[in-house]
Structure 1
Amino acid sequence: PPLTGVIRSVVLILTLLGTWFLMQTYFDHRWKVINPRSWLAKQPPRHKCGNQRSCPQNYFAFKITSGAANVVGPSICFEDKIIMSSVKNNIGRGLNIMLVNGTNGKLLKTGIFDMYSGDINKLDAFLQEIKVGTIVLVASYDDPATKMNAKVQAHFERLGSSHVRKLGFRDNWVFLGAKGMKNKSPFEEHIKNDRKTNKYDGWPEMLEMEGCTPRKMD
């Protein structure tokens, strides 16, 4: 009957009005709560290289990540710029090394040295040419040590390494040192390849190290 249709229409209109009123009240309240300005203000600040904290003046921010097994490559970030990574296609198996001017932070050179092959002589020459005041960042990938010899180990020790002589087959290693250091570097991590503790089949877990290095390390 026509009357039934009118009643239905009135009920529908009232329902719609009630829903509109509830939505207006709710979303007006929610909008005040999640106002973008207040939300953004509460976000923690982003630090260089995505690190946990910012660095003081006259310090450089860095993050070094080793490779994961022989699948995921390493990366090196310096002063919020990713210098070496799989995305940039400038990393490789063995030791991935970056040289930075210790005064102004400018990139000097990068190098990839395969420790399975005969790159040990190239690595020796590369390390010999490093000038005093240069910051050296190293990330291993797959294997850092198969062809390692005492001469190259001595180079790394002069850069501040405490672990280079302990490196073995498929260990993971990240390191930051400098030419001309008087003391051992505080920036070094090493994990052994051990079947009992390996995260991957035949390789230990990935290493990640971040921090702030002074412009002139000593």
Structure 2
Amino acid sequence: MRGGKCSRRYVNVVSVSPAELLLKYVLVLVSAAVLLTVLLQKYSIPFKDELRRALSDGLQKSGPASRAPSKGPCDMARDCPEDHFSFYVRSGAANVVAPKICLRNKLVLGSVLNNAGPGINIVTIHGKTGDVLKTAHFDMYSGNVKPLVEFLKSIETGSVVLMASYDDPSTKLDEEARKLIAELGSLSVKSLGFRDNWVFVGGKGASVHSNFEKYQKNEKTKNKYENWPELIEIQGCIPKYLD
């Protein structure tokens, strides 16, 4: 107020219709959504790649798990996914130390159980449950190959088969037996010779070559036990059989 007179200021008010307000609101939301999408694309793709790589490496690596190895009869040092079975197979040493086969850190074939012997030692398990179906050993030096052939023919589709040699696995091993074992996924059985060491895990109906196989040839100049090669072993995770 100056000189007793009142001064007034007038402000122009621009009226905005509800439709215009709604349009502005929608534009703001669209802009925010576009910005968020760009940020997610920029930062989530590397994360997904790292996660995928980590999962792939974790399932494919054959090294021991982080936990300490067991101190029982099974020298297993790995954990397996829930849809897999852990296994350990060790061949015999010369004609002195019997082989052993373990499943889920439990001994299922070995001298302690009195179910291992010279020749080819076999354990069959149910491909879905992991239950042991049969254990057997067949003398391939002084025995007969027919019981082995009959056993191999009796294995049901979907079964997992674990094998380990002891002393001599091949003298009586004929072409029919070799073919039946090859059908389980073995490659080395075709060349298995006198006193060679061999361990193998395969499956009936798998129709693929198994990655779970080791073969040590009997060569006197390289043998650890003079007339026998060094013992060999494999361990890993067997996927459950799915229909």
Asked if Structure 1 and Structure 2 have the same fold, meaning a TM-score greater than 0.5 normalized by the shorter chain, the answer is yes
1:193 and 1:199, CA in 2 relative to 1: closer, same or farther beyond 3 A?
same
| Pairwise CA distance, 1:46 | 4.7
Are 2:128 and 2:242, in contact at CA under 8 Å, matched by a contact in 1?
no
Aligned length: 176
Percent of aligned pairs with the same amino acid: 47
Give the counterpart of 2:83 among 37, 40, 58: 58
Matched, 1:74 2:90: no
Matched, 1:169 2:194: yes
Are 1:178 and 1:217, in contact at CA under 8 Å, matched by a contact in 2?
no
Q: Which has the higher contact order (CA 8 A, sep 6+)?
A: 1
Are 1:102 and 1:135, in contact at CA under 8 Å, matched by a contact in 2?
yes
Q: Which runs of 5+ in 1 are unaligned?
A: 1-42
Q: Distance in 1 between matches of 2:216 and 2:102?
A: 21
Give the counterpart of 1:201 among 199, 213, 226: 226
Matches within 5 A, 1:175-190: 175-190=200-215
Are 2:67 and 2:77, in contact at CA under 8 Å, matched by a contact in 1?
no
Q: CA RMSD in A?
A: 1.8
Q: Distance in 2 between matches of 1:133 and 1:182?
A: 11
Matched residue, 1:157: 182
Q: After TM superposition, which residue ranges in structure 1, 4 or more long, deviate above 6 angstroms? A: none
**Which structure has the larger Rg over C-alpha atoms?**
2
Matched residue, 2:236: 211
TM-score, normalisation: structure 1? 0.77
Matched residue, 1:23: none
Matched residue, 2:166: 141
TM-score, normalisation: structure 2? 0.69
Are 1:93 and 1:140, in contact at CA under 8 Å, matched by a contact in 2?
yes
| Pairwise CA distance, 1:53 | 2.0
Q: How big is each residue's C-alpha offset from its partner over 1:190-214, in whole Å with a ceiling of 9 and x where there is no partner?
A: 0000011100020000011110010
Matched residue, 1:98: 123
Are 2:186 and 2:209, in contact at CA under 8 Å, matched by a contact in 1?
yes
| Pairwise CA distance, 1:87 | 1.2
Matches within 5 A, 1:100-139: 100-139=125-164
| Pairwise CA distance, 1:105 | 0.4
- Secondary structure of the 2:88 match is strand
